[in-house]
Amino acid sequence: MMEPSTSENVESPQGELSREKLVQKCKSLLAIAQKAKIARDEANEEREKLQKEIEATRAALENRDQQYKNVEEIMGVLTEQKLKLAMDFSFFSVSISIASFN
């Protein structure tokens, strides 16, 4: 009876992989793991970049909200001043008219 070949590329009768095939599979799995790590790191960098953009956008939005509130407040003050000036003008116009008739 012949013994199985001891060549590194041939499987043993029990279906076990040769040492060379195991090393090759390990190298292949290591390469896949390294690619996965690179992809994960790139995804994390992109996530951090997007998170910073979101934070900057939120800050800009809050700033614009505050500016809008400030403009509304200024508009309210100016509207009150305009109304007061219109009333003063009306009062002085009537006063001048009355003074003119005397």
Q: Is pTM, for the whole model, over 0.85? A: no
**pLDDT at position 2:** 46
Each residue's pLDDT tens digit, 25-77:
999 999 999 999 999 999 999 999 999 999 999 999 999 999 999 999 999 99
SS (H, E, C) the chain: CCCCCCCCCCCCCCCCCCHHHHHHHHHHHHHHHHHHHHHHHHHHHHHHHHHHHHHHHHHHHHHHHHHHHHHHHHHHHHHHHHHHHHHHHHHHHHHHHHHHHC
